[in-house]
Amino acid sequence: MNTRILLPLAAAMASLLLLSGCEDHNDGNRTTGTIVCIGDSLTAGIHCIGAPYPSRLQGLTGRPVVNMGVGGATSGDGVGAVSRALARNPGVVCVLYGSNDPGDGIPVSRTVANIRKIVAACQARGVPVVVGTPPPTMDPHVNRNDHHADASRQIKELAKEKGVSVVDINAAVGADPHRYLNPEDGLHLSNEGGALFARLFSEKL
């Protein structure tokens, strides 16, 4: 065979092997790579006392964390956000939506359907996902609590069905909301609340 053909062929094979090695390396980092957190103001840290929970999560895990929380975001916004999260090639995606859904007239069924889409997108890419349940609130937002409780129950059922990790934030905050929520608005997090969120998510990583 002509050596002028053999040399380019050898170079092409070497490139394919190198690319294959990179893909294997990325797959191997799925459970140790960057943590990407998507969610609303509870993730972004807006109106929360102290550092946002993703920043605390980085300190607890020693892993790089990207905070993609957006104030006012609903679970529907999360369906769009997950594609941007996955574009960062994360090791795991932490998901926390639902707190704003009742204020936007989004029923529980749609909240859970949106969380299902987020989970499916992560699983399609082979990326582990940890889903949090929406926490209860205090005055003047207590009218959201029935929605949050029902959504939390169904999200836990969904997580079990899909074999993904779930953080029952609704139950954890509900045990002492005056401790974990910002007393100024009864919706966002106190300093202890941010620490609680970070600890609960870190335990599932």
Question: What span, in angstroms and rounded, lies between the C-alpha atoms of 101 and 82?
Answer: 17
Residues 73-107: pLDDT tens digits?
Answer: 999 999 999 999 999 999 999 999 999 999 999 99
DSSP 52: -
Q: What confidence tier does 192 reach under pLDDT thresholds 50, 70, 90? A: very high
Going by CATH, does the domain composed of 32-202 fall within 3.40.50.1110? yes
Question: Three-state DSSP class for 174?
Answer: helix
Residues 129-156: pLDDT tens digits?
Answer: 999 999 999 999 899 999 999 999 999 9
Predicted pLDDT of residue 7: 37
Top pLDDT among 32 and 5 is at 32
Please give, one letter per residue, the 3-state secondary structure of 101-131. Answer: CHHHCCCHHHHHHHHHHHHHHHHHCCCCEEE
Predicted pLDDT of residue 31: 60
Question: What span, in angstroms and rounded, lies between the C-alpha atoms of 37 and 60?
Answer: 15
Domain segments of the chain: what residues?
1-30, 32-202
pLDDT at 194 over 90: yes
Predicted pLDDT of residue 23: 30
- State the average pLDDT for the chain: 87
pLDDT at 41 over 90: yes
pLDDT at 8 over 80: no
Predicted pLDDT of residue 32: 77
Question: What span, in angstroms and rounded, lies between the C-alpha atoms of 60 and 203?
Answer: 10
Predicted pLDDT of residue 26: 33
Closest CA to 190 of 38, 96, 60, 52: 52
Predicted pLDDT of residue 170: 98
What single string gives the DSSP state of each residue in 62-85?
Answer: -S-EEE---TT--HHHHHHHHHHH
Predicted pLDDT of residue 15: 37
Contact (CB, 8 A) for 53 and 197:
yes
